[in-house]
Amino acid sequence: MILFIEKIKKNDLYLLALVAILILTTVSNTSNAVEPIIGTERSSDARAISLQDSLRASSSGTASLYLNPASMSMAKVYHVAMNYQFTGRDNLNDWGLVFLDSITSSKIAAGASLNYRKDSLKKSDFESWDARLALSASLGENFSLGFTGRYVRAAQDLKSSSEGPNGSAIMDKSGDIQASGFTFDAGMAIRMGSMMTLAVTGYNLTDTKTIYAPIVLGTGLSLNLLKMIFAETDVELDFTSYKSTAVTWKLGVEFLVQERYAFRTGYAHDFLNGIDRVSAGLGFSSTRFAIDLGYNQDIQFSSRFRLALGIRIFVG
């Protein structure tokens, strides 16, 4: 243990201390919080959920299709993932299937995903389909670019007169179909040495005019210490869901034991809506498969949580 501590630079300890201070100073007052609208959370996998989706700079696995397509080229893998997520209070079920192959081609990584969501609330009857096709290419050893084409369809029995946060309308349309069309994401990832990676991703870069596919800019900075401790901090800016830009700060930390067992935790703060979230998760990985369990809890809304289970199969 002494040798392990000595290997960690003092600057890293100062960084962790600063992060702890930021967490303590950003926790919000419950009375100011605005509850999210059903179905607006990003589909993801169990590992990402337990880390507050703070994987934009280092998600070389199947979560790349949701967070940053450029990350697909950062590791040679051939994975198939099956994901399930349940959101409490909304009674929302999310089933997902993901394929990722960065082995077959030496230059291009490719992936595809399909998510289906359905709730059990009679007042909203929410249902959505989300299909993605992603490509990524490495331009040198330390820089990669990625592109994701996305089709999203969302149906909900709410009308345009229904008000959302800040008094703005939840939907631009009335009736059942609230979103139906194509958009795309684009991202890049830059390795800065063996320990740090920087990433930037733009989401839904065509204006879909729906809260279910808002224009978002995300940045991420990851740190890998001795291949035992992984930490990433992310910032997201949502430009179109609300009258003003929504800024969310996220932090995720993962501890690996014997390269098989993973212990994860995370924290996020939504500055506009006044929401704090905490998360935790576990993971087990063998040479052929991995199982992940993630839990994400809203502090201000005790009945609102996300519980996720994922199975990843390592084809190659």
pLDDT at 267 over 60: yes
Q: Which ranges constitute the DSSP H helices of the chain?
A: 2-7, 10-26, 46-50, 64-67
Give the range among 42-56, 155-169, 182-196 with minimum mean pLDDT: 155-169
Tokens matching residue 23: 């967490």
- C-alpha triplet 150, 152, 156: angle, nearest 5°: 165
**20: pLDDT strictly greater than 90:** no
Q: Is the full-model pTM beyond 0.75?
A: yes
Task: Tell me the chain's radius of gyration from C-alpha atoms.
Answer: 19
Task: Sort residue 183 into left (φ over 0), alpha (ψ -120 to 50) or beta.
Answer: beta
By DSSP bridging, strand 289-298 and strand 305-314 are antiparallel
Give the domain CATH number at 194. Answer: 2.40.160.60
Which of the four pLDDT bands, split at 50, 70 and 90, describes residue 124?
low
Asked if residues 298 and 304 have their Cβ atoms less than 8 Å apart, the reply is yes
Please state, for a pLDDT cut of 70, what percent of the chain lies above it.
Answer: 82
**Count of domains observed in the chain:** 1
Domain that holds residue 136: 2-314
Kindly indicate the confidence band of residue 171, based on its pLDDT and cuts at 50, 70 and 90. Answer: very low
